[in-house]
Amino acid sequence: MWIFEQAGQGWLQLGELGLAFLLSALIGLEREIRHKSAGLRTYTLVGFGAALIMLVSKYGFMNVLVNNRIVLDPSRIAAQIVTGIGFIGGGLIFVRRTNVRGLTTAAIVWLTAAIGMACGAGLPILALAVTGGHFVVVFAFPYIARHLPRSRWTPSLLQICYQDGREALREVLVRCTQHNFAVSRLQVEKESPANPQDSADRTVTVALEVQGTGSVAKLAAKLADVEGVVSVHAGDVNEVND
């Protein structure tokens, strides 16, 4: 068992790796169940790998150290993990118009790496505490956010497809006003080619930027009932999402 007798390759280090594996997989399982862009395998590998890198930083250079001649700083690799994990997190963030997706997922990837680093550094209590904090943020904070005062001035986007010639757009604007939403911008995105003499067969897609304190998702449901409206897609900044 000479290998296990070498510094940094004992049962203590295996236990630290196992704890990192377990806690990272626990976070990944929650993400997998909720069908996020990064799931069980991604989070487990991030935390597990971060723990191994920390152990390599702590014990991987023992054979080259010489008293009063060679001094190594184990924290240098920890700093590189923080920098490197940013590339993974950046790849999970998607921006489309005014909607940003993946910020929470990217932040949790970064958090999972930190948990793995704590396990590898021999700080299991901190790793357990942060894992518990993760579940508080994920499950409790959305409930709190839903009950916070909503912004009246932050715009939300509605994409509406309707049949031309049926005065659907006028009714859409009226209903927005009736539900206490102000239309700050209207832009025609696409018109389907059709016989100009038969406008009933032509569909028009417009983007509406609306401002109000209500739920844009509920407004979209009301607009979908307007005669002549084919489809409505809403991006509500007042709704909690990832």
For the chain, give every domain's residue range. Answer: 2-146, 156-235
Quote the pLDDT of residue 22.
Answer: 92
User: pTM for this one?
Assistant: 0.57
pLDDT at 198: 54
- Which pLDDT belongs to residue 52? 82
User: For residues 101 and 42, what is the distance between their CA atoms, to the nearest angstrom?
Assistant: 18
Contact between 175 and 222 (Cβ < 8 Å): yes
Q: In the prediction, which pLDDT does 237 show? A: 44
Coil, helix or strand at residue 138: helix
Residues of the chain with pLDDT under 50: 1-5, 236-240
- Asked if residues 94 and 102 have their Cβ atoms less than 8 Å apart, the reply is yes
pLDDT tens sequence across 63-72? 666 566 656 6
Q: What is the pLDDT of residue 238?
A: 39
pLDDT score for 7:
61
Tell me if 168 sits within 8 A of 227, measured CB to CB: yes
How far is Cα 32 from Cα 136, in angstroms, rounded to an integer? Answer: 17
Q: Which fold has domain 156-235?
A: Alpha-Beta Plaits (3.30.70)
- Which of 106, 203, 212, 196 shows the shortest CA–CA distance to 151? 212
- Helix 124-139 with 103-120: angle, nearest 10 deg: 160
